[in-house]
Amino acid sequence: MSHHSTVKILDLCQVGPPPASLPSTTLPLTFFDLPWLHCRPAKRIFFYHFPHPTHHFLQTTLPILKHSLSLTFQHFFPFAGNLIIPPQPHHHVPYIRYLPGDSVSFTVAESTADFNLLISDSPQDVRNWHPLVPTLPSPRTDDDGTRVIPLMAIQVTILPCYGLSICATFSHVAADGKSLHHFMKYWASVSKANGDLTPLEGTLSLPFHDRDRVKDPKGLKLVYLRESMKFEGFVRDVYTNKVRATFVLSHERVEKVKKWISLKCASSYASGTPHVSTFVVTCSLVWVCMIKSEQRNVNCVAKGCDELCYMVFVADCRDSPEFALPSTYFGNCLASLIPAVKRGEIVGENGIVVAANAIGRKIRDFKSDAMGGAETLMSDFRELGKPGKSVLVVAGSPKLGVYETDFGWGNPKKSEAVHLD
């Protein structure tokens, strides 16, 4: 399933906001940002049909991509800046800083990979995409001990006469998925207009950067800052023998499962029918299948039927009554929801119903109290990061409109979160 290919670097440069377009600016980290402080970078890749040779791309497309990206950074400047970690982060909260002249590493490459294989739904070696993914530049340490950490890197890879990919690697401490895709769509719109902002006036929403609007009545910022010093991130698996595949659920099949789960829950749970959405149905199916696949290697008795299996997914808090932030708020604004189910129940006859009820209950609780249980979030993450824990992490959401990111070549043929490998 692996495919031998070569990648040649054609250009390596820096792209930042237009000269003299922005003053020096700092943004404090909020309690929403701090849980992501030590997490590995997020990586989002887009594949587009582009039936042109490399020289056509370099002469006509690349200059527009760079120019439009520079104009985009004028508004989404945190990505062009750096995370600043003071010498004593226990006493001084890290923050994001943009200085005039700051910029993002921008790589242009050419690949001999099979474009149709890369965008296919069939299983393929996860390493097939790795040469298309940029690496964040290394942090530096100033003389006073201050750490300066770049927040984004971008790579555009041309697959001559077939397609191209655009991949952004970014630190999650700077922004969540909604902010990242706001940035990508803004860049795509400006690029589609050939870098001319005039026809776009009034049509593009600008990011909202006022972090004073983020209220912290529970004092979570100090709690998370203390806890983040103990947190080293989730345990990572190596890439050996791992494949990536896409499974498509038709609308008709999803609706059938929804009705079946609703009927089962109505007769089995005194609390009534849980929140049964397409998201709940899809996550339930994947969760049960993942846990059942583990049973091939270790039976329920040996593993422990009472062992808890966890799922982690996030919910946007921008429009929650507790915060009431604009939808264009730039940064992190996510609550982490962690349903847990006993292994014996999830592999049982009604495993999907049990999973759906657990997920639906967390969503219902979030709607009534977006910050419920937030005080223990960092310690919960530390516990889930221990070896041997059964944890399924969900990333992305159809609400992000990922497939509406059109640079002028049509919608993406595929887009994925590469960091889940």
Cα Rg of the chain (Å, integer)? 22
Among 75, 172, 182, 419, the one annotated catalytic = 172
**Residue 38 in tokens:** 């030590």
In the DSSP assignment, the letter for residue 184 is H
Catalytic residue at 172? yes
Crossing angle between the packed helical segments 251-268 and 278-294, to the nearest 10 degrees: 80
Contact 205, 183 (CB under 8 A): no
CA 61 to chain centre: 27
Sign of the CA dihedral running 102, 31, 339, 305: positive
Catalytic residue at 55? no
Give the ranges where 273-350 is alpha helix by DSSP (H): 278-294, 300-303, 343-346
- Those residues whose C-beta lies under 8 Å from the C-beta of residue 206, and which sit 6 or more positions away, are 75, 328
In the DSSP assignment, the letter for residue 136 is P
Smallest CA-to-CA distance from 87 within 30, 40, 147 is with 147
Write out the DSSP string of 52-116: S-HHHIIIIIHHHHHHHHHHHHTTSGGGGSEEEE-S-TTTS--EEEE-TT--EEEEEEEE-S-HH
**Residue 337 in tokens:** 């929801």
Q: How far apart are CA 333 and CA 311, in angstroms?
A: 19
Among 114, 216, 380, 406, the one annotated catalytic = 406
Long-range contact set of residues 286-291: C-beta below 8 Å, sequence gap at least 24: 286/392, 287/311, 287/346, 287/355, 287/359, 287/392, 288/346, 288/347, 288/351, 288/352, 288/355, 290/392, 291/343, 291/346, 291/347, 291/351, 291/390
Contact 359, 340 (CB under 8 A): no
- Those residues whose C-beta lies under 8 Å from the C-beta of residue 217, and which sit 6 or more positions away, are none
Residues forming the active site: 172, 406
